[in-house]
């Protein structure tokens, strides 16, 4: 069994995270419950920053907040001195409400509305990552309204396909994101932007995909971008101040996954960039990255209570838990795999094989197939590891199941950071049917 971060088996034979017994957490906060190991998030954040410092490169590490966003999470990221990537008015609103400094917020999105852009300009966010020609027009127009220059990055699709699940590759040329790097679109965009009085082109952005385990794709993307930068030096007399190479660093969900340490990704990327910069004889731009999953993924664990069981003779045993695709849609959507243990009997032999079913009314709501566990009973606690990224943030109310609570644990203390939804919360925006006017 692989234990992440501060997770360990304690003397009571229970799973403990951040110095807090998960059985106690279940009693206090109920299940399903998302538990975040704060020390592990801090460690990841620091190692990304440190890696750039060690290489003497000016950098911004922006947390891709789509992985998990909440007020407390943004405050934690701010404490660690990272920047923030937001992709919607909702994420931006959460960030501003949390007190996150707007100057370190980057606004993304392939279809930002005028209202979202205005919100970003009202708060003077650090930069807007521009995705398409329509957005350039909008920003140019808004810059006049605000009478100031808007700092932007232009997002390119570098034509690099990362080896990962199809749904989560975004760097290939046939993508809804960004300007084609190789088909002339980026030059057209640059021309428009450089001619605009109201736009300050800080630099270039690219992101090649998610859950990537090797550095070749990042290095290739960086090389492609810098080849272009070399050409733009002549064509536009333009040298970017910033090159943002996105996120996508893989993490270990199961023993099949072999991620590299954060520092290694950074070293390889920076070395590739340095080589290009030296060859071109230009000043080293700031390097920005946007890790999401690798900052919070393995810091998150979901705790469930076991309920019913069903044995299909000679085939399998289904064990149902009190959550499922409503709190973790990744198995249903991406065939994502997870590991799990019985949190209340973690030291016992996990030598039976069962399949973990969610409680939603859908056959596809299976959390884990063929999981080794001890003999399971109702009321046992199942801890599913590595649910910290794209778990809560993709949670939904299918079957009107309330979304779970979220706690942060650190140094033996637990803090509730998102309350469990109540049934009242679920119907909060519902309005009753208009009563029929009686006829005749
Ligand atoms: N930057 C950009 C522009 C992105 O589109 C993404 C992720 C990231 C950074 C962060 O990537 P990360 O470091 O977290 O891999 N829902 C999917 C993942 C979608 C990723 C979308 N973009 C999942 O559950 O696997």
Structural domains present in the chain = 8-37+297-420 (2.40.37.10), 108-291 (3.20.20.10)
Q: Ligand 1 centroid to 294 CA: how many Å?
A: 10
Is the CB–ligand 1 distance for residue 86 below 6 Å?
Answer: no
Q: Ligand 1 centroid to 250 CA: how many Å?
A: 10
**Alpha carbon distances (Å) from 218 to 5, 50, 175, 264:** 26, 19, 17, 12
Ligand 1: nearest atom to the Cα of 67: 14
Residues 6 or more apart from 396 whose CB is under 8 A from it? Answer: 325, 326, 329, 403
What are the pLDDT tens digits along the chain (440 aa)?
A: 889 999 999 999 999 999 999 999 999 999 999 999 999 999 999 999 999 999 999 999 999 999 999 999 999 999 999 999 999 999 999 999 999 999 999 999 999 999 999 999 999 999 999 999 999 999 999 999 999 999 999 999 998 877 665 555 566 678 899 999 999 999 999 999 999 999 999 999 999 999 999 899 999 999 999 999 999 999 999 999 999 999 999 999 999 999 999 889 999 999 999 999 999 999 999 999 999 999 999 999 999 999 999 999 999 999 999 999 999 999 999 999 999 999 999 999 999 999 999 999 999 999 999 999 999 999 999 999 999 999 999 999 999 999 999 999 999 999 999 999 999 999 999 999 998 876 55
Pocket test for ligand 1, best of 68, 107, 108, 247 (most atoms within 8 A of CB): 247
Q: Ligand 1 centroid to 61 CA: how many Å?
A: 14
Is the CB–ligand 1 distance for residue 112 below 6 Å?
Answer: no
Is the CB–ligand 1 distance for residue 32 below 6 Å?
Answer: no
Q: Ligand 1 centroid to 210 CA: how many Å?
A: 5
Ligand 1: nearest atom to the Cα of 330: 24
Is the CB–ligand 1 distance for residue 292 below 6 Å?
Answer: yes
Q: Ligand 1 centroid to 349 CA: how many Å?
A: 36
| The pLDDT value given to residue 175 | 87
Burial class (CB in 10 A: 0-12, 13-18, 19+), 439: exposed
**Alpha carbon distances (Å) from 215 to 168, 218, 263, 265, 274:** 17, 5, 11, 6, 15
215 secondary structure, DSSP code: S
Ligand 1: nearest atom to the Cα of 290: 9
Q: Ligand 1 centroid to 440 CA: how many Å?
A: 60
Is the CB–ligand 1 distance for residue 108 below 6 Å?
Answer: yes
Which residue's alpha carbon is nearest to atom 23 within ligand 1? 390
| The pLDDT value given to residue 169 | 58
How far apart are alpha carbons 234 and 268 in whole angstroms? Answer: 27
Is the CB–ligand 1 distance for residue 300 below 6 Å?
Answer: no
Pocket test for ligand 1, best of 292, 294, 332, 336 (most atoms within 8 A of CB): 292
How far apart are alpha carbons 422 and 402 in whole angstroms? Answer: 6
**Helices and strands per DSSP (H, E), number in the chain:** 12, 21
Which residue's alpha carbon is nearest to atom 9 within ligand 1? 247
Q: Is 360 annotated as catalytic?
A: no
Nearest in space to 261 (alpha carbons), one of 221, 223, 291, 225: 291
Is the CB–ligand 1 distance for residue 168 below 6 Å?
Answer: yes
First to last CA, the chain: 73
Q: Ligand 1 centroid to 129 CA: how many Å?
A: 15
Ligand 1: nearest atom to the Cα of 249: 13
| Active-site annotation holder among 206, 360, 361, 386 | 361
| The pLDDT value given to residue 163 | 65
Is the CB–ligand 1 distance for residue 323 below 6 Å?
Answer: no
Is the CB–ligand 1 distance for residue 207 below 6 Å?
Answer: yes
| The pLDDT value given to residue 430 | 98
Burial class (CB in 10 A: 0-12, 13-18, 19+), 188: middle
| The pLDDT value given to residue 435 | 85
Is the CB–ligand 1 distance for residue 169 below 6 Å?
Answer: no
Q: Ligand 1 centroid to 9 CA: how many Å?
A: 32
User: Is-contact 409 33, C-beta < 8 A?
Assistant: no
Pocket test for ligand 1, best of 87, 105, 111, 293 (most atoms within 8 A of CB): 293
Nearest in space to 290 (alpha carbons), one of 78, 55, 60, 80: 60
Q: Ligand 1 centroid to 292 CA: how many Å?
A: 6
Ligand 1: nearest atom to the Cα of 394: 16
| Whether residue 362 has a cis bond before it, omega within 30° of 0 | no
């Amino acid at each position: 069994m692989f234990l992440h971060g501060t997770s360990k088996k304690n003397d009571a034979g229970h799973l403990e995270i951040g110095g807090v017994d998960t059985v106690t957490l279940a009693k206090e906060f109920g299940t399903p419950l998302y538990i975040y190991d704060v020390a592990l998030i801090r460690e990841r954040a620091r190692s990304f920053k440190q890696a750039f410092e060690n290489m003497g490169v000016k950098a911004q590490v922006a947390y891709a907040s789509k992985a998990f966003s909440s007020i407390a999470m943004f405050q934690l990221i701010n404490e660690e001195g990272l920047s923030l990537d937001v992709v919607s008015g909702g994420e931006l609103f959460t960030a501003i409400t949390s007190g996150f400094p707007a100057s370190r917020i980057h606004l993304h999105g392939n279809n930002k509305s005028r209202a979202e852009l205005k919100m970003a300009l009202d708060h003077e966010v650090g930069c807007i990552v521009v995705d398409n020609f329509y957005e350039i027009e909008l920003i140019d127009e808004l810059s006049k309204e605000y009478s100031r220059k808007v700092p932007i990055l232009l997002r390119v699709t570098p034509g690099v396909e990362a080896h990962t699940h199809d749904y989560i590759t975004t760097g290939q040329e046939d993508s809804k994101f960004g300007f084609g790097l190789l088909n002339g679109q980026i030059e057209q965009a640059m021309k428009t932007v450089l001619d605009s009085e109201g736009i300050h082109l800080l630099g270039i952005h690219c992101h090649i995909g998610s859950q990537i385990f090797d550095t070749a794709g990042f290095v290739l993307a960086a090389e492609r971008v810098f080849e272009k930068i070399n050409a733009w030096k002549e064509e536009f007399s333009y040298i970017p101040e910033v090159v943002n190479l996105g996120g996508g660093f893989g993490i270990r969900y199961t023993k099949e996954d072999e991620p590299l340490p954060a520092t290694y990704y950074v070293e390889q990327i920076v070395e590739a960039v340095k080589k290009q910069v030296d060859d071109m004889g230009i000043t080293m731009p700031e390097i920005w990255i946007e890790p999401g999953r690798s900052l919070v993924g393995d810091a998150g664990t979901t705790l469930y209570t076991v309920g019913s069981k069903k044995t299909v003779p000679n085939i399998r045993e289904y064990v149902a838990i009190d959550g499922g695709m409503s709190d973790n849609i990744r198995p249903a959507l991406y065939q994502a795999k997870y590991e799990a243990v019985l949190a209340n009997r973690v030291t016992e032999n996990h030598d039976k094989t069962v399949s973990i079913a969610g409680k939603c009314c859908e056959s596809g709501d299976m959390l884990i197939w063929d999981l080794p566990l001890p003999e399971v009973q109702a009321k046992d606690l199942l801890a599913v590891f590595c649910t910290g990224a794209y778990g809560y943030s993709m949670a939904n109310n299918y079957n009107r199941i309330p979304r779970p609570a979220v706690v942060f644990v650190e140094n033996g203390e637990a803090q509730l950071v998102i309350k469990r939804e109540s049934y009242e919360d679920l119907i909060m925006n519902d309005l009753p049917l208009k009563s029929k006017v009686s006829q005749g």
